[in-house]
Structure formats: structure tokens, C-alpha cells
Structure 1
Amino acid sequence: MNKRLLYVCCFIVSCIIVLSQCVSKQRSTGLRGEQFAGAATCAGCHKNIYDSYLATAHYNTSHPASQSTVKGNFNDTFIYSNAMKVVMEARDSGLFQAGYVNDTLQELHRFDIAIGSGRKAQTFLYWEAGKYFQLPVSYFVSAHAWANSPGFPAAHPKFDRMIPSTCFGCHSSMVGVKSTEMTGLHITEQFEKNQLVYGIDCERCHGPGAEHVAFHTAHPQEQQAKYMTKTGSLKNQQKLDMCAVCHSGLKTPQRSVFDFRPGDKLSDYIYADITRPAKPSEMDVHGTQYQLFTASKCYIKSENMNCSSCHNPHSGDKQEVFSQRCMSCHTTASHNFCKLTTLPEAVLAKNCIDCHMPALPSGSITLLTNGHLSPTPDSIRTHLITVYGDETKKVIARLTKKL
């Protein structure tokens, strides 16, 4: 290859890179501002971490709805009483939930957004006239079936439940709000259609990255991270607050959680909830991970335990990995290992969380499937680390059969 051709190729590549950065910048400017680079930019230097992150529940908590992102079969039907039903229809123009009465079409709404990673359940939103609404039928993964959306009436399909921007605060990294009007205590929001930064992306946890990217692009030899908050340097409560933004349940916001930056205080964004149950036994397992975890003896007796002591946010860890992290503190040498003697030590060391953090039924997330008179609660692993006698008996019985 001669020098002139090499220069031309380099120029073309440079133009493509600059153009892609400009497009990315325009897209982020519309929603989050020029200080954000976009998560895909992180892959340039952090490819292994980025590729692993793509499989996490954080990344997959929201997607544009499509055949590849929506769980469940289409042309299935959810039947209500009085000859009412909702049919999941795959049409040439997209995916829809169609409401029928006596086989006469009453309402037809598109699957626009899929909410939920699909590990336990998914629910779906449609956009209409500047507002987002939740569709009446969700998908319950453990039952492999469509189900009445949580909290929706069981007797008829409800298509008019509006979704506010606060819901997007924990299921996206930004939503495009066109306008906000307040009448008394009632807030009405107008949204830009499908203007979302889907999933919980890198910059929700690490802060805006455009300045960081620009500096290290210009100084590729620099190994010390510049213009980014180092989460490892934060105080323990600051680390907890980052996770508690979403994992402490619904609260009354003082300001948008989209503005939260690593190192900020959660109390500056959320009003204290005076109605919150004081006892862990009164808390639902859904949405109160922070409260349950901080009520656990493991946390109380530790000086610096936080969510990342067990969770790697960049990967979807399996049960055995969590148990290994328990073993970093609970060892026979320190005389605080499991006191059960009915199973070998090696077996116990791989099953800590089934006994001490079992999956328990949620009272707030319940789904009614076809043919059932009462809804089925979603099972969610509790974050109150303690001894659960009944669950332990079940685990011992299950593991004994395998020996």
C-alpha cells in the first residue's frame, strides 16, 4: 500500500470516528447533555467489562419492544370474565395487545417498551398522545405464561394506567420529558415518544463520562483515570446510597434521581418516608433491599460492608459465587462457619444464600395467570441475612437427596 492510499484510508477512518462521536453526542445532548458520552463509548477501553455488563439485569431492565426482547408467545390470549379478553398479536406493523369483547375489537395498543430483565417477569408500555401507559397483560417467567399486570383489576383489561417519569428513574438512564404541568398536587407530564436511554448504563453509576473520554482519547498513555468519580474512593454510605437510589423502594422525590451522581447523598434526592415499616418483618422483599440488608447482623457488625461486597455490577453472578463471598468472612478458622452438622462442610459452603437469604413471596408483586382465581406472588430473594428455619429444612432435604 503506497503512502497516499494509506493517508486516504486513515482520513476516512478518522471521519467515520468523528462522525460517530458527533451522532452519539447529538443523541446524548437531547436527553442528558453534552457531558455524557454514552455507554457504548466505554467499550472502546473497557471491552471485557462492557461485554459482561450486557448480560446483567441492569442493562436489560428496559428495551425497545420487539420479538427478540419480549418474552412470551404471540397469538396467545388472556381471558377475563364477561367475554372479555386480550390477545397478544404479532402484526406486520408490530406487536400489539388487542382488547376484545365478544370477539369485537375494543382497543389496540402497541408494545413500545419492554420493562424488566426477563429473569422473573416483564411488563410493557405503550406511548400515546405524549404519555406512557402500562399494558394490562405482563409476562410471568416462572409460570411461562401471560398474566394480569400487578395491581390491575382482575375482572377486565385496563389500558389507561399512566406511567410517570419516576418509574423510568429505576428502569432507564434517562427519559425524554417534553413538558411538566402541575395542577394542585397533580402532575401531568408529556413525553417525547421512545426517547429513552435504555437500561441502567455505565454513567448512571460512574457519572458523566464525556470529559473522561476526551482526555484519555487525547492521552492514551495515561493510566490514571481522570475526570471520573472513583467508586472505590467513596465512603461506605456513599456507595450504599448509589444502590439505594433504586433498591430502597418508592419514595417521595425532592429532585429527579436522574441527576444523582456518585458521591451524592440520597437524602438530597428523596424525602424521608415516615410511613416506612420499622421492622424488617413488615417490609416486602420487593424494592427494600437496602433496608433489609442494613438491618442484617452481617452489615451491622461490619465496618465497611456494602452491596458490592457481594454483587459485581458488571456481571451476572451465580449462586455459588455469592456463597464464596460469604466464605470470605464465615470460616471454620474464625469459628463462625455454619453450625449445621447434617451435611458435609463442602456442600454447606456452596449453599449459604438458600438458607440465609431465601427467595420469599412478594406481597406487592403478584400476577394472576389464566385459569387461576388468586394471583401468584413473585418470589424474590430477601436481603435480610438471618436464619430461616423452615427454608433451611427444605434446603437440607433437597441437598440430602443429591448426596
Structure 2
Amino acid sequence: MIRGIVPVEDGIPEADPLAMARSQLEQGQGELAWETLASRVRPDAEAHWLLSRAALQRGDLQTAEASLAEARSLGFENDPMRTEPAVFVGSARCVSCHAEIAHDQQASHHASTFAGADDLDQLPLPDGPIPDPEVPEVIHSFRKEGDRVIVETEVAGERFSMVLSHLMGSGHHGTTPVGIDPLGNVVELRLSHYAKEVGWDLTTGHLPRPAVPSEFLGRTLAPHEQQSCLNCHTTHLQPDESTASWTVVEGGVRCEQCHGPGGNHLAAVNGGFSEPAIMRPRLASAEQVVNLCGTCHRASESGPQDESSNPFLVRFQATTFVRSACFIQSASTAKFDCVSCHNPHRNAETDSRHYDSVCLSCHSDTRSLDQTIATATPREFTAQTLCPIEPTQGCVSCHMPPRESSMRNTLFTDHHIRVQEDLDRVDPPDSVSEQRAEE
């Protein structure tokens, strides 16, 4: 259970039966949703669509099809990215029909970006006390008591402690522990464990020398910060208003994080419904796909927004990718988006030739460069011409180089595809794995 303060809504107004029915459907209460809609709603496109979902949950496929047809006749848009009002079913339910994809996804970094109290053993604890990376006279100690992991920090004779409750991060770049202090505060540990033999170092965003001694242990997370972190590191959160906490029903980025709750989908497949009743990013526009990934891979507006190579922005790919001429000038039918380069169910490729092949699928004009420059419009030149420096390889090493980021000890690929005028020309690396190691 993740502690926090859950905002209690005032309730859905009686005058908004559509919202009430949607909430009931999200809890799998198809019968109640049907009664809400049938008794209080003047028929319109959205109401009929919700009626189709209520009938689907009730197992009345004939009525579900009729209501869906009526919704379409009234102009209800067939949006492949519409979130279904349904219950979460968990990624384990996806395996029977999507075994290969589910296997790949479960082995990915996305799937392991959260670990609960039962999985703390995956955190490599130090062998003994370690000095603070910024203020060496401050000492941090880790110890196990039964199933618990306790962290203590000694600052000028004072001791501060916390019990670890969960871990954020897959470990590919790093892992940040979070815990509960004796006062019940949710605390992000001052130390994170970084990959590539870096080990324990200062957590990104923490001050080198805090003004308050207790913050040498870690930084207390406000409720909105807790929820913001959990929204991107878990798939299904269940708020518990009575205890002001969240229960993580399914951690990590799993199937329903990107496809939405799957309850209606299972009913649709089992009943032979004409719609799959699930979000389908494969059919979405490029903008919709980038926005979906950008739910987590987009920078907050509180940070710098001007220069794409700023260390704050470079780790948020969805913010800078959309600035690329390749994205802006691609035809909508081309669907140049995140999944053009990345299989969403697997870890990112580490072979730069994979990414170069995507570039060359457009930048492979067989005309001579001089002829192209003389005859092409600016749009055609941007989207189709060969590179005058290296036309057959090394695209990403020059136009999407790894850069320092705001996350300590970590490089991220610059996703604003452009001529990198602040860098010297980069020859294609001898070892492709070396270049893409931090992708």
C-alpha cells in the first residue's frame, strides 16, 4: 500500500447521468449503468455508445450491437484511442490470446519500472555504511530486519530513518527507493542506485547540501508528487479514501497502461461483439501515438522549454521529437511517430543500424545531390534527400546524438532530429552498442 492523501471528490452530480454511468461501467456495474442511462438520459450519440457498453457488460450482445449502431448513426466518432469505461483485468489475462507480445512486454524495462515491498531484494544493498556523495561526513546505512529494509542517515549526531516501501525505476538507468519515515511521511531517498557500475549516488533533483538536516535522509513527497510518480510507474492504482493511500494493483508499465482497462474487451471477444472494445494505438494517428507516449515521456511545463539539448528536456523524448522536421513535414499517412523506431512491447534496440534503416527509408533519393538541391522544394529536400556528409550510415550518431541529461550519470538520445550545430561531426561508431548504450 502506498501512502498519500487521496482527494475526495464531491461526487458526480445527479444532473450528469453520463458521467455517473461511465463511473459505474469503470467498476463493472453494467446493470446499474443501464438503469442510469435508460431512466435519465435523453438519447444522443454518447448515451447510445455508453448503453452499448452497459449491454456488453450485462451479456446482452444483441442490444449492445443495436445501441452501437444507433450511436454511429448519430455521428459518434470511431476513435481507436478512446479509453473504454471498464474494469482493469491485469496483464496476466492478456497472455492466452497475445502470448508472444505479452512475453516480450513482461521482459521489458517498462514492465519492471516499479517494485513493491515484496520485491525489495532486487535492490543491491551496500556492504556497509556509505558516506554521502556530496557531504562525506554524513553517513547512510542500510540494514534488513526480517522482510523490511531500513535506511538510517546520521547527520551531526542526529539520526533519521525510513522503512523502504517500494522502488522506482527498472534499474536500466537507475533505481530510486521510496519509504515511510516514523511520522508517516512518504520520503524519496536521497540516494539512488545507478547502473553501469556507478552504484549509489545522489538522487536526481535533490540538493547537494539541504538546509534541513532531515533531508539528508530524503525528500518528503507531496501527495500530488506521489501520484504523479505512481501514474507513470504503475498500471493500476486503487485509491483507498478511508486510509488516504493508494494500493498498487499492478506495478510497472503493463498492457492496460497503453491499451486502457480490458474488461469490455474480454466481454467483446468472448461474445463475438463487432468491436474489440479496447484502445488500439496501431490504428491511431502519429500525433495520438506521440501523445500516448508523452503521457510519461513529456516534460512538465515547469522546466525549461526553449532548447531541445537542455539536460532537462533531453530525457523527455515526446517533448523534443515533435520539433523535428521529419515529424512536422511527414504526411499523415506516413505515421512517423515513436513506434516507427521503437517496438512498444520490447526494449529499445541497441544497434544503430536499426535506426539508420528507418532514416534511410525516406532519405534515400537516388538522384544526384546537386540535381536534388536544384529541383526540390524545401519540403522535398528536408524529407527525401540524401545526407551530404554520410548518405548510407551514421544517421543517428550525427542527428540524434547521446547527450547529458538532468538525470545524474545518465545519457539520453536527443530526439529533436536536426543538424546538431553545436557538435563536431561524429563518425559512425565502430561499436554500435557503444553509441546506443543509453537509449
State the TM-score, normalizing by the size of structure 2: 0.63
For residue 262 of structure 2, what is the aligned residue in structure 1? 209
For residue 339 of structure 1, what is the aligned residue in structure 2? 388
8 Å CA contact 1:131, 1:191 repeated in 2: no
What's the RMSD between the two structures over aligned residues? Answer: 3.4
Give the direction of change, closer, same or farther, for the CA distance of 1:88–1:328 in structure 2 (3 Å limit): farther
Task: Please give the secondary structure, in 1, of the residue aligned with 2:312.
Answer: coil
Q: Alignment partner for residue 365 of structure 1, among 390, 395, 407?
A: 407
Q: Alignment partner for residue 159 of structure 1, among 204, 210, 218?
A: 218
The answer to whether 1:54 aligns with 2:106 is yes
The answer to whether 1:227 aligns with 2:258 is no
Point out the more displaced range, 46-55 or 284-293: 284-293
Q: Alignment partner for residue 248 of structure 2, among 175, 195, 211?
A: 195
- Structure 2 distance, partners of 1:98, 1:227, is 49
- Structure 1 distance, partners of 2:413, 2:429, is 20
Q: Deviation digits for residues 313-371 of structure 1, max 9, x if unmatched?
A: 11113133222222222225366333335xxx7xx53x432222111112x323xxxxx
Q: Larger C-alpha radius of gyration, 1 or 2?
A: 2
- Structure 2 distance, partners of 1:298, 1:117, is 31
Task: Please give the secondary structure, in 1, of the residue aligned with 2:187.
Answer: strand
Task: Please give the secondary structure, in 1, of the residue aligned with 2:218.
Answer: coil
- Structure 1 distance, partners of 2:155, 2:184, is 27
- Structure 2 distance, partners of 1:106, 1:33, is 48
For residue 116 of structure 1, what is the aligned residue in structure 2? 169
Displacement of 1:210 after TM fit? Answer: 1.0
Q: Deviation digits for residues 26-79 of structure 1, max 9, x if unmatched?
A: xx98xx996221111111110100110123232122122535532564535233
Task: Please give the secondary structure, in 1, of the residue aligned with 2:326.
Answer: helix
8 Å CA contact 2:166, 2:177 repeated in 1: yes
Give the direction of change, closer, same or farther, for the CA distance of 1:82–1:289 in structure 2 (3 Å limit): closer
8 Å CA contact 2:402, 2:414 repeated in 1: yes
8 Å CA contact 1:115, 1:124 repeated in 2: yes
Give the direction of change, closer, same or farther, for the CA distance of 1:330–1:74 in structure 2 (3 Å limit): farther
Q: Alignment partner for residue 337 of structure 2, among 306, 326, 332?
A: 306
- Structure 2 distance, partners of 1:105, 1:176, is 37
- Structure 1 distance, partners of 2:154, 2:91, is 41
Map 1:181-192 to 2 at 5 A: 190-192=244-246
For residue 96 of structure 2, what is the aligned residue in structure 1? 44
8 Å CA contact 1:244, 1:290 repeated in 2: yes
Q: Deviation digits for residues 204-253 of structure 1, max 9, x if unmatched?
A: 2112211211332455xx8x7611132233233222221121121125xx
Give the direction of change, closer, same or farther, for the CA distance of 1:76–1:329 in structure 2 (3 Å limit): farther
- Structure 2 distance, partners of 1:198, 1:292, is 28
Map 1:171-182 to 2 at 5 A: 171-179=233-241
For residue 56 of structure 2, what is the aligned residue in structure 1? none
Give the direction of change, closer, same or farther, for the CA distance of 1:281–1:149 in structure 2 (3 Å limit): closer
- Structure 2 distance, partners of 1:58, 1:311, is 13
For residue 133 of structure 1, what is the aligned residue in structure 2? 187
Displacement of 1:176 after TM fit? Answer: 3.7
For residue 99 of structure 1, what is the aligned residue in structure 2? 153
For residue 142 of structure 2, what is the aligned residue in structure 1? 88
For residue 250 of structure 1, what is the aligned residue in structure 2? 300
The answer to whether 1:285 aligns with 2:318 is no
For residue 237 of structure 1, what is the aligned residue in structure 2? 287
Would you tell me which structure has more helix in proportion to its own residues?
2
Would you tell me which structure has more strand in proportion to its own residues?
1
Give the direction of change, closer, same or farther, for the CA distance of 1:63–1:76 in structure 2 (3 Å limit): same
Give the direction of change, closer, same or farther, for the CA distance of 1:332–1:54 in structure 2 (3 Å limit): same
Give the direction of change, closer, same or farther, for the CA distance of 1:84–1:278 in structure 2 (3 Å limit): closer
The answer to whether 1:295 aligns with 2:285 is no
The answer to whether 1:64 aligns with 2:116 is yes
Task: Please give the secondary structure, in 1, of the residue aligned with 2:357.
Answer: helix
8 Å CA contact 1:111, 1:124 repeated in 2: yes
Displacement of 1:384 after TM fit? Answer: 0.7
8 Å CA contact 2:281, 2:289 repeated in 1: yes
Displacement of 1:101 after TM fit? Answer: 4.4
- Structure 1 distance, partners of 2:202, 2:163, is 17
Unaligned runs of 5+ in 2: 1-26, 29-83, 370-384, 435-439
8 Å CA contact 2:235, 2:257 repeated in 1: yes
Q: Matched residues, percent identical?
A: 21
- Structure 2 distance, partners of 1:228, 1:154, is 46
Counterpart code for 1:56: S
For residue 412 of structure 2, what is the aligned residue in structure 1? 380
Displacement of 1:392 after TM fit? Answer: 5.6
Displacement of 1:378 after TM fit? Answer: 2.7
Counterpart code for 1:357: M
Task: Please give the secondary structure, in 1, of the residue aligned with 2:177.
Answer: strand
Give the direction of change, closer, same or farther, for the CA distance of 1:225–1:202 in structure 2 (3 Å limit): farther
8 Å CA contact 1:136, 1:148 repeated in 2: yes
Counterpart code for 2:346: S
- Structure 1 distance, partners of 2:401, 2:86, is 44
Point out the more displaced range, 387-396 or 151-160: 387-396
8 Å CA contact 1:71, 1:118 repeated in 2: no
Q: Deviation digits for residues 287-334 of structure 1, max 9, x if unmatched?
A: 532221111111122123211111111111313322222222222536
Displacement of 1:380 after TM fit? Answer: 1.2
Unaligned runs of 5+ in 1: 1-27, 181-188, 252-272, 367-376
- Structure 2 distance, partners of 1:322, 1:96, is 44
The answer to whether 1:327 aligns with 2:360 is yes
